[in-house]
Amino acid sequence: MQVPGGDRREVLDIVNSQGEVQIVAYQPVAENGSRTYRNTTLFTDDEIDRVGNAREAQGDSPPSVLLRIQGEQAEPIRQSFVDTAVAERGGTRCPYPETEDSCLLVVRDGQVINSFGMQPSLAQSMLDGSWADSPNPAIQLTLTNFEEAQQVSIDLRAGALPAALDVEAGTSRTTAPAQGTDFKRDSLLAGILAVFAVSATVFVRYGEVNVALPMIVTAMAEVYALLGIAALTQYPVDLSVIGGFIAVIGTGVDDLIIIANEVMDEGEVNSRRVFQSRFRKAFWVIGAAAATTVIAMSPLAVLSLGDLQGFAIFTIIGVFIGVFVTRPAYGDILRALLTDQ
């Protein structure tokens, strides 16, 4: 597990937070002439059929999460509400932690994050059994703020880890900031060398600066645009993303070479009309290749396959930038240089 900018304590806090959410009955009971409170788990995420999205507060209604209960679990859960006196005639109120009524607690990783009573209408449907007999038995959890509602919804969907973690048996390493500086310097040096290598190859192929130079500038503009998107979305630029940049540069230069070959190899370009005709032919080839790349990369971008996802996402973004922005831009530059129009 890698956490940029975090230390060992922060990483352990993230790992040990399993996200287990329970709905607990907080029930006052009399023992030895004094009042004590007993916690009884009513149900966990394993008994939930579907967890709704977190809903923002609307008017007097606080943020909430709607839970659909599994049909076979509805009756046992209803009986638990009745047995713990959470479902009582007239409903219940919950001034937690000191309360005279039984109430519900939302507990996440052993910590109470919210408490609430039960509305009279829901309590009555629990008592007469109509709640369990309904086609879609559901419970709406109300939270104090939308961020808590989102977190509860995520935890209930993900579920808790099936076993305890032994983090002490593993190892931890910290990468010094100086290594990141060296990495940036080496990456910049490698990029500059790659630019010179591609520039030399293109210049040898065409022998004309006005064809080769715009090609290199256009390819670098694609990388600059991808870096801007990564910075805007705060997506971590790791080795897989850099691999996507390299793939975009490779396919981008190939497409630009296709345009240059199609435009120049069929003879002199003496008018704008001739240029546009040849450019459209080349663009059809580029468009078909781009569509193939997007289709091939889409499963990797959608499925959770670790580092491959970042590679696929930025390759697809680079292809779209190339087809809709940089390829037409290179065509306009090349037309202006070859036709003086």
pTM for the structure as a whole: 0.49
For residue 220, CA distances in Å to 246, 249, 252, 322, 337 come to 11, 8, 10, 11, 20
Q: What burial letters (b/e) apply to 259-295, b meaning 16+ CB within 10 Å?
A: bbebbbeeeebeeeebbeebbeebbeebeebbeebbe
d(C-alpha 230, C-alpha 77), whole Å: 47
What does the alpha-carbon distance between residue 257 and residue 129 come to, in Å, rounded to a whole number? 73
Structure tokens at 238: 């790791």
Count Cβ atoms below 10 Å from residue 116 Cβ, excluding itself.
19
3-class DSSP state of 14: helix
Domains parsed from the chain with CATH numbers: 18-159 (3.30.1360), 177-339 (1.20.1640.10)
Contact assessment for residue 12 and residue 4, using Cβ atoms and an 8 Å cutoff: no
What angle do the packed helices 239-264 and 209-233 form, to 10 degrees? 150
**Cis peptide upstream of residue 97 (ω within 30 degrees of 0):** yes
Per-residue pLDDT of the chain in tens (341 residues, 90 and over written 9): 555 555 666 666 666 665 667 778 887 777 777 778 888 887 776 778 888 888 888 887 888 888 888 888 888 888 888 888 888 888 877 777 777 778 888 777 777 877 777 888 888 888 888 888 888 888 887 777 888 888 778 777 765 444 455 556 556 666 666 666 777 677 767 767 777 777 778 778 777 777 778 888 888 888 888 888 888 888 877 778 888 888 888 888 888 888 888 877 766 766 788 788 888 888 888 888 889 989 988 888 887 676 788 888 888 998 899 888 888 888 888 888 777 65
